[in-house]
Structure 1
């Protein structure tokens, strides 16, 4: 599993700016490529950012669900087999940011959702300090 911090770039792109992977040596490791942007409406990190915006008629089901839950979940959207869980938070002068995790295979979405929501709340506080 990897953790990431992403920022909205303009109105239509999401760019990971920070990633953390486990320090221990393993045979298989998931990582998130810094700076590799993708459409804001794809992937848990972008959908979490979109969910920060006021509800609009054209919102996707994923954005509506993320807004209701406080975090987004995607499976296989950016990479086959990858499951992303992310929560958005507001940053002054930006469309938004998100913090989350990506893993291959099954994850405890409820537990991760609560953890990323907590991390997003703490990061929002820090961004206003």
Structure 2
């Protein structure tokens, strides 16, 4: 799935906010980022996203080219794999984010149930909402 989001802020500021672990809980739907092995704008960095209770998936930065590319992925509950590839480009008086989101569900009954909860556009609506929240935060001056 591909989603575009315009942010009325300079590309360097948008990228810096996108990789700021202190800002991520305000827009990503997680409680916090922990156990980062390095800066989140550097390929190879691993970190944990605390979502709730025992649900704390590990993520890895797969590629990073500040301020134009950030690619991260990981595994969630029941072996669900995800990848977010964000591209940043200057547009008009701000920055356009193009996010490619990929989620792979393994076979099996539980994974099938989880997959069905995300069908019908629910996953896309959630991602659009998160990116819109991110844009509002950056436009309001965060971080």
Which range, TM-score by smaller chain?
Answer: 0.3 to 0.5
TM-score, normalised relative to structure 2: 0.36
> Counting strand residues as a fraction of each chain, which structure ranks higher?
2
TM-score, normalised relative to structure 1: 0.38
